[in-house]
Amino acid sequence: MDRLDQATTELIEQDIKGRFPADAGASVAVLQYGDDPAVEPGQITVRLTIEPSAAAEGDEHPMEAWRRTYRETIEQLRRDISERFPDVSRFEMRSGEKPARRFMVKLHAPDAPTGDLTPVMARLGPDDLETLDTLITAGIAPNRAQAVRWALARIRERPAYAQLRDRAREIEALKSQF
């Protein structure tokens, strides 16, 4: 997928920002690969950053108060982004404080695998990200999660892995005897 041009990103940003009052404390950014390490090749993310001006009630976090106040607008926005801007794959809301609190929504993933999958979070360095992004750019995988699954499948195909798995089972059996 090619990068969106400046006019398109500005259109998206204006559309989203225009849904909230000027004093709502929201800024919008359209992020593409290279703009932020969390954005994968071919992916476009809309980031809504909230700088709440009003204090939250009681112990409620200001981000939660903001989400509660604009809940209907946010839900409509999620639907509209998918319909009007199909190239946008993720919608992220984050607070402006450090560390930021964030909520990520995957808008659509037509090629996502189904079945009994367990989510796993890993922190990767620049070299690992470059490796995954190279697999995506080469067309081996459509996203980082599937690139990791592809790499794991290649490891399982190696005869040494079967031997390693057998040894791990033997070790577990020995541990149970203690």
Q: Give me the residue spans of the domains in the chain.
A: 1-108, 113-178
Collapsing DSSP to helix, strand or coil, 102 comes out as strand
DSSP secondary-structure letter at 105? Answer: E
Q: Which residues pair with 44 in a beta bridge?
A: 32
- Residues 24-44 have pLDDT tens digits of 888 899 999 999 988 888 888
> Residue 147 pLDDT more than 80?
yes
CATH assignment of 1-108? 3.30.70.2960
The pLDDT score that the predictor gives to residue 60 is 73
For residues 121 and 165, the model is more confident at 165
Collapsing DSSP to helix, strand or coil, 108 comes out as coil
Q: Which residues pair with 30 in a beta bridge?
A: 46
The pLDDT score that the predictor gives to residue 114 is 66
Q: What value does the CA radius of gyration of the chain take, rounded to a whole number of Å?
A: 21
DSSP 126-153: HHHHHHHHHHHHTTS-SSHHHHHHHHHH
The pLDDT score that the predictor gives to residue 113 is 66
The two most distant CA atoms of the chain are separated, in Å, by 68
DSSP 22-58: GGG-EEEEEEEBTTBTTSPTT-EEEEEEE---SPPST
Grade residue 111 by pLDDT with cuts at 50, 70 and 90.
low
Average pLDDT of the chain is 85
The pLDDT score that the predictor gives to residue 52 is 61
Exposed/middle/buried for 117, CB within 10 Å: 0-12, 13-18, 19+? exposed
Collapsing DSSP to helix, strand or coil, 90 comes out as strand
Grade residue 112 by pLDDT with cuts at 50, 70 and 90.
low
Phi, psi of 89 (to 5 degrees): -105, -20
